[in-house]
């Protein structure tokens, strides 16, 4: 997982490079929350372009980050979503609270 | 075609990936589509995660994955000898979670039900839980 802080946009960019399951979700959660706490960031952009697999643990992780960003007045944005991940996101209906973008550039326009 | 397999592993979250990979490899001879394969991997991941998170709480335990292929049907059973589920029907309700403070979405059983053709859950308090799932591999490309 790579994280990058865009301080002028108060945004943390997180590139996930593993399957997103219960195991990796706890690690992502810890890393992202520490970044949010230790910086001025209020928005989180997740790069899913290297994620081939996500289960419902990924939904829990995204909803948890949404709650945090929402309290801070920020957003959670996801881009690079593949077919399998899209299906899980659609089933959960979380595209109503989390912004799904086609590209990094499109995601940046939202913060 | 006929085949059977069994895999037993400790209730460590890193083994969720192991279970998915074994399930995917086991079903490969039936030549599933990419979609069928990812449906199976997701359903197995949900069942194994449930066993790991809810089955044993914080104590050590083993999770077992059994696979069976007959004709173009694959059947998987995920079992634990953990604490069991008091109310299976309630646990299977969409969005219900037994761990509201753990960022669980409560979608595990809903995903298993929609990605597999049949799912059966048997649980006894103090004895453990068995989740049996079945899928017909249609392979209609």
pLDDT value at position A8?
Answer: 95
Does residue B60 belong to any structural domain of this protein?
A: yes
What is the arithmetic mean of pLDDT over B5-23?
97
In chain A, the number of structural domains is: 1
In chain B, the residue whose alpha carbon lies closest to the alpha carbon of A62 is B103
Is there a contact between A110 and A101 (Cβ–Cβ < 8 Å)?
yes
Closest-CA distance, B122 to chain A, in angstroms, reads: 22
> Higher pLDDT residue, A76 or B102?
A76
What are the tens digits of pLDDT across the range A31-44? 999 999 999 999 99
Return the number of other C-beta atoms located less than 10 Å from residue B56's C-beta. Answer: 19
Probe site for chain A from B93, B104, B106 (most A CB atoms < 10 A): B104
Q: Is the pLDDT of residue B100 over 80?
A: no
What are the tens digits of pLDDT across the range A55-75? 999 999 999 999 999 999 999
Is there a contact between B52 and B14 (Cβ–Cβ < 8 Å)?
no
Are A55 and B104 inside 8 Å of each other by CB? Answer: no
Does residue B141 belong to any structural domain of this protein?
A: no
Cα gap B85→B91, rounded to integer Å: 8
Cα gap B75→B68, rounded to integer Å: 5
Residue A11's domain spans which residues? 2-108
Structure tokens given for B28: 């490969």
Among B19, B61, B108, B16, CA closest to A22? B16
Closest CB to A21: pick one of B38, B45, B110: B45
Are A56 and B107 inside 8 Å of each other by CB? Answer: yes
Residues 6+ apart with CB under 8 A from B41: A53, B20, B23, B24
What is the arithmetic mean of pLDDT over B97-103?
81
Q: Is the pLDDT of residue B141 over 70?
A: no
Q: Is the pLDDT of residue B94 over 90?
A: no
What residues of B are annotated to the active site?
46, 50, 104
Is there a contact between B9 and B55 (Cβ–Cβ < 8 Å)?
no
All residues of chain A having their beta carbon less than 8 Å from the beta carbon of residue B110 are 91
pLDDT range class, residue B95, cuts 50, 70, 90: confident
pLDDT range class, residue B8, cuts 50, 70, 90: very high
What are the tens digits of pLDDT across the range B72-83? 999 999 999 999
Are B16 and A23 inside 8 Å of each other by CB? Answer: yes
Q: Is the pLDDT of residue B69 over 80?
A: yes
Comparing A31-35, A96-100, B104-108, which segment has the lowest mean pLDDT? B104-108
Are A84 and B42 inside 8 Å of each other by CB? Answer: yes
In chain B, the number of structural domains is: 1
Residue B124's domain spans which residues? 2-136
Return the number of other C-beta atoms located less than 10 Å from residue B124's C-beta. Answer: 11
Does residue B68 belong to any structural domain of this protein?
A: yes
The widest CA-to-CA distance across chain A, in whole angstroms, is 35
What single string gives the DSSP state of each residue in A33-45?
Answer: HHHHHHSS--EEE
Owner of token pair 């079945």: B134
Cα gap A99→A89, rounded to integer Å: 11
pLDDT value at position B128?
Answer: 96
Closest-CA distance, B6 to chain A, in angstroms, reads: 22
> Higher pLDDT residue, B4 or B100?
B4
Grouping H, G, I as helix, E, B as strand and the rest as coil, residue A46 is: strand
In chain B, the residue whose alpha carbon lies closest to the alpha carbon of A94 is B105
All residues of chain A having their beta carbon less than 8 Å from the beta carbon of residue B41 are 53
Are A84 and B110 inside 8 Å of each other by CB? Answer: no
**Torsion angle of the four alpha carbons B7, B11, B17, B19, in this order, in degrees rounded to the nearest 10:** 20
Bridge partners (DSSP) listed for residue B65: B7, B78
Q: Is the pLDDT of residue B110 over 80?
A: yes
Closest CB to B49: pick one of A57, A63, A92: A57
CATH code, B102:
3.30.565.10
Closest-CA distance, A55 to chain B, in angstroms, reads: 6
Q: Is the pLDDT of residue B96 over 80?
A: yes
Return the number of other C-beta atoms located less than 10 Å from residue A100's C-beta. Answer: 18
pLDDT value at position B102?
Answer: 81
Cα gap B32→A33, rounded to integer Å: 39
pLDDT value at position B78?
Answer: 98
> Higher pLDDT residue, B99 or A81?
A81
Residue B78: enclosing H or E segment and its boundaries? strand B73-80
CATH code, A86:
3.30.750.24
Sequence-ordered strand ranges (E) for chain A: 2-6, 11-15, 43-47, 76-79, 99-101
């Amino acid at each position: 997982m790579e994280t990058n802080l865009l301080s002028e946009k108060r945004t943390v960019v997180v590139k996930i490079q593993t399957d997103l399951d219960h195991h990796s979700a706890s690690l992502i959660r810890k890393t992202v929350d520490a970044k949010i706490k230790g910086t001025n960031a209020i928005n989180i952009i997740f790069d899913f372009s290297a994620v081939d697999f996500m289960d419902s643990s990924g939904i829990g992780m995204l909803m948890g980050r949404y709650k945090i960003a929402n309290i801070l007045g920020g957003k959670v944005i996801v881009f690079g979503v593949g077919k399998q991940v899209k299906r899980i996101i659609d089933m959960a209906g979380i595209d109503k609270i989390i912004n799904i973008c086609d590209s990094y550039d499109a995601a940046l326009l939202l913060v | 075609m006929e085949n059977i397999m069994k895999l037993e592993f400790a209730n460590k979250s890193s083994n969720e990936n192991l279970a998915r990979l074994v399930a995917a490899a086991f079903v490969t001879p039936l030549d599933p589509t990419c979609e069928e394969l990812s449906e199976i991997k997701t359903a197995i991941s949900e069942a194994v995660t449930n066993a790991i998170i809810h089955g044993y709480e914080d104590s050590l335990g083993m999770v077992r994955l059994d696979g069976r292929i007959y004709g173009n049907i694959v059947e998987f059973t995920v079992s634990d000898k953990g604490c069991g589920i008091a109310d299976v029907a309630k646990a299977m309700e969409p969005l219900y979670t037994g761990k509201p403070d753990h960022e669980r979405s409560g979608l595990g059983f809903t995903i298993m039900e929609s990605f597999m053709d049949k799912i059966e859950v048997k649980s006894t308090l103090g004895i453990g839980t068995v989740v049996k799932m079945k899928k017909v591999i249609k392979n209609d490309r």
